[in-house]
Amino acid sequence: MFFAGAASGAPLKSPNVFALKHALIIGTRSSPLALWQAEFVKAELLHRFPQLDISLRHIKTTGDKILDSPLSKIGDKGLFTREIEHALLRGEIDLAVHSLKDLPTQTPDGLVISAITPREDTRDVLISKNGETLDTLRSNARIATGSLRRRAQLLAHRPDLQIVEMRGNLNTRFKKFNDDGTLDAMILAFAGVHRLGFDAQISEIITHDKMLPAVGQGALGIETRVNDGETNALIGTLNDFSTALCTKAERALLRRLEGGCQIPIGAFASLENQTLSLSAFIGSLDGARSVRKSLSRHAIVSIDDAEESGKTLAEELLHAGGKDILQEIRASV
């Protein structure tokens, strides 16, 4: 569900409503990146409404607790969001700040994505030991990632690579990578690397023609209770309508494909002069089979338009061989 009041992207002008709200509690994971995201939202709100008293509440999620198993093996429904959403439904917090790519495409009853923030660069990056790029890494190089999406696209581009499972928050991954003398490289999202100031470690920003990002990558999704009109009005002022249109197209595609952590799916949408360009990828776990499609739609002016585009491209992917790939993957996990 998406809060219609935030759809215009323009600040909502209702001083009487804003005056009623004096304090907000933000629910967040406690990783350095999650805290950066929560602090960013807090700062944006205080810039608009300096009278607010805003505090953060740290909440540990299932994905934070289970660190010794691949994400694809422990389920993919709200691994990094479920516990925060429960706290929101119980009224213990007023809003939740998530990486949009972590939010399942079905929002729980009673909750709403009331704002999607402007997007950071959506591309993935290569971190290598000696500055190598994806194309100059040695034959059979060992490259770390915890993402099946990245695995499938890496192997489609370089079948010789050895993929090593790596989990943990961004700081933990950098430590593991630097301490492990057998690893040649790892793949991370540019957004997180940039937000935490690790830009100097980037060996290559990987172009979308080689690797499409996760759905929603680079954007933050702010979740609130449907019936909390005061908070929704405040949070709606943070919504970036262009980003909302693009990510809604991507999420509609993912929802139609019934994808998640267990399925290698990448997608990216951009909007220029009301023309939506959307590309998406489905790949087998070994990278041997893949299908990639794109579409361009004009006069995209509403969330419904964007979501219809996402569903259309999903159908094209399924008919082009994606259905067989997905069935094969689901039978093996």
pLDDT digits (tens, 9 = 90+) for 132-179: 999 999 999 999 999 999 999 999 999 999 999 998 899 999 999 999
214 with 149: CB under 8 angstroms?
A: yes
Tokens 């429904």 belong to residue: 77
Task: Give the predicted TM-score (pTM) of the model.
Answer: 0.91
pLDDT of residue 74: 52
- Bridge partner list, 27: 57, 96
* H helix or E strand, kind and range, residue 267: strand 265-272
User: CB neighbours (10 Å) of residue 90?
Assistant: 8
CA distance 3 to 213: 25
Residue 281, SS3? strand
Domains of the chain with CATH codes = 4-119+218-239 (3.40.190.10), 124-205 (3.40.190.10), 251-332 (3.30.160.40)
CA distance 71 to 75: 7
The answer to whether residue 102 is catalytic is yes
Calculate the CA 92 to chain-centre distance: 25
Sign, CA dihedral 154-155-161-166, equals positive
The pair of three-digit structure tokens given for residue 42, joined into one six-digit string: 């807090």
Residue 129, SS3? coil
Residue 157 main-chain phi, psi, to 5 deg: -85, -40
- Per-residue pLDDT in tens (0 to 9) along the chain, 333 residues: 555 444 434 334 444 555 568 999 999 999 999 999 999 999 999 999 999 999 999 999 876 666 555 555 555 557 789 999 999 999 999 999 999 999 999 999 999 999 999 999 999 999 999 999 999 999 999 999 999 999 999 999 999 999 999 988 999 999 999 999 999 999 999 999 999 999 999 999 999 999 999 999 999 999 999 999 999 999 999 999 999 999 999 999 999 998 766 789 999 999 999 999 999 999 999 999 999 999 999 999 999 999 999 999 999 999 999 999 999 988 886
Residue 178 main-chain phi, psi, to 5 deg: -70, -30
Residue 329, SS3? helix
| Identified catalytic residue from 102, 184, 228, 240 | 102
* H helix or E strand, kind and range, residue 225: strand 220-225
Using CA atoms, how far residue 244 sits from 114, 271, 283, 308, in Å, is 10, 10, 26, 14
Nearest CA to 313 out of 329, 291, 328, 290 is that of 291
